[in-house]
């Protein structure tokens, strides 16, 4: 694997690349770009990078404020702003059209990228996306989301975040739990608060609809069993092709890398 940096809208973006040798005259499949979720970094995709690199070029980004990528000085983690980072990487690497894989908050970023530039995204793969919180009923929003957002601004904010992550870790393997909680402990307050604001305000259904309205676009979701809320993206849009990987938690690519690799290969067929 190769590590490098790209100049982005707010500073440097660190990326990891892997690929197989390509012989002269050989047709090369479209590259795959991986976008991670909250608190982690590009290394969360190491197993998937190694797998995909057996057949095509694979790239994973450290999103702004994560890993070795620069944080936004204004605290802007809105999916649309993060999508500008993804597009800057595509431009920096000279990639006109790719498949994109986004997990959790990274799925929001992948959706925003696809909606902004559908002609550059041949395949959108959403890994346990958080759904569309703008579709949550007002009473639920006031009872659940507003108090959580307020808690993120308090001195004891970490307790609220840990409770939320523990819920998401239900069904996860022990090694996944240990890794995610270690990443969470190292993530600063402004980063988590900014991403949460961006996620709760993101109109995911609208982004998906705009992307799929463009020609030559495809979208699929790979989810954990717990992703079954009224505002889940595949429930709001039942036509979205969706596969569930059993016995996994939210970080299903860590819990079941072999099963995830099989589903990823299916999604990438013909791309």
Q: Considering the entire predicted model, what is its pTM?
A: 0.96
Q: How do strand 98-103 and strand 32-35 relate by DSSP bridges?
A: parallel
- Give 171-186 pLDDT, tens digit per residue: 999 999 999 999 999 9
30: number of Cβ within 10 Å: 17
Give the pair of three-digit tokens for residue 94. Answer: 């000279």
| Burial class of 9 by CB neighbour count within 10 A (0 to 12, 13 to 18, 19+) | middle
The confidence score (pLDDT) of residue 25 equals: 64
**Residues contacting 121, CB < 8 A, separation 6+:** 97, 98, 99, 100, 113, 114, 211, 217
* Average pLDDT of the chain to the nearest whole number: 95
- Give 136-190 pLDDT, tens digit per residue: 999 999 999 999 999 999 999 999 899 989 999 999 999 999 999 999 999 999 9
Let me know how many helices (H) and strands (E) the chain has, helices first. 12, 8
- Give 240-270 pLDDT, tens digit per residue: 999 999 999 999 999 999 999 999 999 999 8
């Amino acid at each position: 694997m190769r590590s490098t940096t790209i100049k982005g809208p707010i500073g440097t973006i660190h990326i990891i690349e892997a690929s197989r040798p390509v012989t002269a005259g050989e047709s090369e499949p479209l590259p795959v770009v991986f976008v991670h979720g909250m608190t982690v970094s590009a290394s969360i995709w190491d197993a998937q990078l190694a797998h995909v690199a057996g057949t095509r070029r694979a790239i994973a980004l450290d999103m702004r404020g994560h890993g070795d990528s620069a944080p936004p000085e204004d605290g802007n983690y809105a999916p649309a702003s993060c999508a500008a980072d993804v597009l800057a990487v595509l431009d920096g690497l000279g990639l006109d059209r790719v498949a994109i894989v986004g997990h959790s908050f990274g799925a929001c970023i992948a959706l925003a990228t696809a909606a902004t530039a559908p002609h550059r995204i041949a395949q959108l793969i959403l890994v346990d996306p958080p759904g569309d919180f703008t579709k949550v009923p007002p009473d639920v929003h006031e009872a659940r989301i507003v108090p959580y957002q307020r808690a993120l601004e308090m001195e004891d904010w970490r307790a609220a975040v840990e409770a939320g992550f523990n819920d998401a870790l239900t069904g996860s393997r022990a090694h996944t739990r240990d890794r995610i909680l270690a990443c969470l402990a190292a993530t600063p307050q402004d980063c988590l608060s900014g991403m949460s604001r961006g996620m709760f305000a993101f109109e995911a259904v609208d982004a998906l609809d705009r992307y799929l309205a463009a020609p030559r676009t495809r979208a699929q979701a790979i989810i954990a069993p717990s992703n079954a809320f009224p505002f889940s993206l595949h429930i709001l849009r039942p036509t979205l092709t969706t596969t569930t990987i059993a016995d996994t938690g939210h970080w299903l690519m860590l819990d079941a890398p072999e099963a995830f690799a099989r589903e990823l290969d299916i999604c990438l067929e013909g791309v």
